[in-house]
Amino acid sequence: MTRALELADDWWKDDIHCGPFAEYFSRHIVNIYVEYTRSGELCYEIYTGFLLHYGGQFMWVTAGHVVERLEELYDSGRVEVRSSGWFDNHPNTLAAKIPSDLKNLRKAQVDSEGMDLGVVWPRPLDLLALTSNPNNQVLTEQVWQGKSSARPEGYYLVGVPQELHNPTGGPVDIRGTPKLRNIQVACLPVERVEPQAGNEPRDFWEYPKAFYGRILTPIQRDTADLDNIRGMSGGPIFSIERTPEGRLLYRLFGIQSRWLPGSRVLRATPIEVLAEALEQAYRAASKGAE
């Protein structure tokens, strides 16, 4: 099957807005949390990403600078990591908050030609807990295939912005993991724009292969007209389109990596870069196994 994923009938009969789409797309979002102390202050950070199954492997996909930040927290002598793990946005006794030492996880980054892509391979037990939650849906290559025939009507950036959760540490539950309350997945409408070569800042606009888009004001404001999308780096950008029969399809177009707050323009790594990197890694692994 090489078509985009299909939304259920009842998701498009009313006006398209952030509320229902955020709820729907949250099933693809899996976060990493890190609780640490800095100068005696207890705080935590949450990073956006999503699970992907490709070439027989499960991996967590995010922005490259998110992976760099994780390594910095563990390697820095200025902070002490108290706990860390996975948070999947769906209460479930088998998942929800999964404590895990993320220090020695296998990680990879792609940062060439302005592309900002990171991959983390969860441990088997962590992966079992995440995939045991029936509310989670792992993405496969199906969701980006057929892009050449796509006719997007719009795009949405999905993730957990820092503005929509408390960035300071909180009490822990009986398993020793922080009580991550008021975590809200945002789904922000995006209008695609052409790269503006020669404009400032030049290091933002000089990559014609990147996906550029402007964040629009949501129709429904209960999910906020955010002042800052910090925390949404690594979030997927989905395209939306209707079939001739009136059904909605969505495809994965990119992974959010950088934005300009003044103009509300973002830059994302296109899914082709991820697909190419995964294919190269898969071929190399297959060749090594011969």
Write the CATH number for 279: 2.40.10.120
d(CA 234, CA 232): 6
Answer yes or no: are the C-beta atoms of 254 and 200 closer than 8 Å: no
d(CA 109, CA 112): 9
- One digit per residue, pLDDT tens: the chain, 290 residues? 233 455 443 433 333 335 667 778 888 999 998 888 888 888 888 899 999 998 888 999 999 999 999 998 888 878 888 888 888 766 554 445 777 888 888 888 876 676 888 999 999 988 988 888 888 889 988 887 767 777 888 899 999 888 766 544 444 444 444 455 556 788 888 999 998 877 888 888 888 889 999 998 654 444 445 667 888 999 999 998 888 887 878 889 999 999 998 888 999 998 888 878 777 766 665 554 44
Which two structure tokens, joined as six digits, stand for 174?
């009986």
What is the total count of domains within the chain?
1
Residue identified by tokens 């563990």 is: 74
Domain span at residue 76 reads: 5-289
Answer yes or no: are the C-beta atoms of 232 and 215 closer than 8 Å: no
Find residue 121's DSSP bridge partners.
106
d(CA 270, CA 277): 12
Q: What is the structure's pLDDT at 192?
A: 92
